[in-house]
Each structure stands twice: as C-alpha cells, then as structure tokens.
C-alpha cells in the first residue's frame, strides 16, 4: 500500500482523471472530495463490503432453494 | 445461443435477452452478462442467471410488491452509465437471499438492480445514504406477489 501524507486542501491525482482532495479535517473526521469519471463507482467501503457479502450469500442457490420459491407453502 | 443454468439445465437464449453489467456486481466483478428467467409457478420472482458461469444465479423479486413505499434516487452518474433517457425504461429488482424455510428469506433493498430496458444495461446500485439495508424480510410478500402478477 502506498502511504502519503496530505494536508487540508491538498489532493491526490490518480491517473489522468481521478482526483481525491482533502476538503476539511475536524477531529477524527476527514471530508474528502472525489472527482472521477461517471463510469467509476465510488462506495463507502463498509457498505460495499456489506453488499458484496450479501451477494455472495444470495448467490449460493441450489435447485432445492429454487424449489422452495416455487412451492413456498409446502413447509 | 445456448447457456447452462443452475436450475433449468441447458436453455436457448436470444442475444437480446442478455443484460449487461459493465462493471459486474460487487463480489462478482468478472460477471458482466446475465439473463432474467421466469420461474414457473411463482411469477413474483425471477432467476438472474450468469451466461458464462453455470453455477452463478440470483433470485430477484419486484421490491415494490413487497414494500410499496420503497423509493430511492437514481443518481446522475448511474443515469449516464446506463444511458437512461426515460423513467419508464427503468426496471428495478431486489436480490433475494433464499432461506429454508422460505419465509425467512430476505431481500436486499440497499443494493437494488437497475436495468435500462431500452439497451439492457444494468447495474447494482449502492444506496449509501438510506435507511434500507441488505436484509429486509420478504415474509408475506410471496403470496402477494403471486396473486398480483
């Protein structure tokens, strides 16, 4: 991992088209401004992680689980 | 073309049926092409099957049938990514995590699948600033969904 030190108002440039700027620092909170092309999806990491985990759970489909949907009343 | 599926064996699909997730979906970034398949006997649900990975499929449902007040804002960047021109071209689905017994199943309202029916571009949204989470109960909804479609 590349580690950089930045001050308020300073930025990081990634490739030609992504800029991440430190807008403000207050206590333990840092406000970041991110400029990136529209095709780049930006997520809060913990939320992305939740979605990823739920997708993995949801993908564990078997013939049995699909039968459950087809006949939900049978249990 | 023919594809192999989790549930339906080998089936023939038309190229126009394919929906494209340009960046895949979280956890499955190499999976960019899926088809939506009907589930005989329960029209409230669909199977979203990967065209390249037989074992990979998801169950989708219409979130509005289960939560009629469900709402979120489609951000400009997604509108542009999916090249959405009209609201009526947008189709919204929730991914279901199936549990046994079935009424313990949940749906992910935090990360709906949005499809532009015009060009069949799709993406899984990440609604960062909502109260919706990844595990909403669908209990009761399957009957409602069945009787309404």
Best mutation site among B8, B34, B76, B97 for testing chain A: the one with the most A CBs within 10 Å?
B97
Contact A20, A4 (CB under 8 A): no
What domain range is A27 assigned to?
Answer: 11-70
Whether A39 and B97 lie within 8 Å, measured CB to CB: no
Residue A2 lies in a domain: no
Q: What H or E segment, with its residue span, contains residue B142?
A: helix B141-148
Q: Which tens digits make up the pLDDT trace of A2-61?
A: 999 999 999 999 999 999 999 999 999 999 999 999 888 888 999 999 999 999 999 988
Nearest chain B alpha carbon to A49: B26
Residue B55 lies in a domain: yes
Residue A6 lies in a domain: no
Write the ipTM: 0.88
Residue A61 lies in a domain: yes
Chain pair A-B, CB pairs under 8 angstroms: 108
Q: Which tens digits make up the pLDDT trace of B95-141?
A: 999 998 888 999 999 999 999 999 999 999 999 878 899 999 988 65
Residue B148 lies in a domain: no
Helices (H), chain A: 45-58, 63-70
Structure confidence at residue B25 as a pLDDT band (50, 70, 90): very high
Whether A55 and B57 lie within 8 Å, measured CB to CB: no
Q: Which tens digits make up the pLDDT trace of A54-73?
A: 999 999 888 888 888 877 65
CATH of the domain at B9: 2.30.290.10
Structure confidence at residue B143 as a pLDDT band (50, 70, 90): very low
**What are the CA-CA distances from residue B1 to residues A36, B62, B106, B143 (Å)?**
37, 27, 33, 34
Establish if B147 touches chain A: CB-CB under 8 angstroms: no
What percentage of chain B has pLDDT greater than the value 90?
74
């Amino acid at each position: 991992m590349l580690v950089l030190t930045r001050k308020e108002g300073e930025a990081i440039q990634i490739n030609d088209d992504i800029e991440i700027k430190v807008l403000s620092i207050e206590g333990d909170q840092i406000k970041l401004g991110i400029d990136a092309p529209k095709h780049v999806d930006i997520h809060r990491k913990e939320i992305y992680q939740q979605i990823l985990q739920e997708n993995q759970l949801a993908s564990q489909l078997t013939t049995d689980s699909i039968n459950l949907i087809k006949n939900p009343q049978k249990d | 073309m023919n594809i192999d599926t989790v549930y339906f064996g080998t089936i023939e699909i038309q190229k126009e049926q394919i929906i494209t997730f340009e960046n895949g979906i979280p956890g499955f970034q190499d999976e960019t092409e899926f088809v939506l398949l009907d589930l005989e006997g329960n029209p409230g649900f669909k199977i979203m099957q990967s065209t390249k990975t037989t074992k990979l499929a998801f169950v989708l449902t219409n979130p509005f049938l289960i939560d009629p007040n469900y709402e979120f804002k489609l951000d400009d960047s997604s509108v542009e990514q999916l090249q959405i021109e009209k609201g009526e071209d947008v189709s919204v689905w929730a991914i279901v995590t199936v549990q046994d017994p079935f009424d313990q199943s949940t749906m992910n309202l935090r990360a709906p699948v949005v499809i532009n029916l015009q060009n069949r571009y799709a993406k899984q949204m990440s609604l960062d600033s909502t109260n919706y989470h990844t595990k909403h109960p669908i209990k009761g909804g399957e009957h409602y969904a069945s009787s309404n479609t």
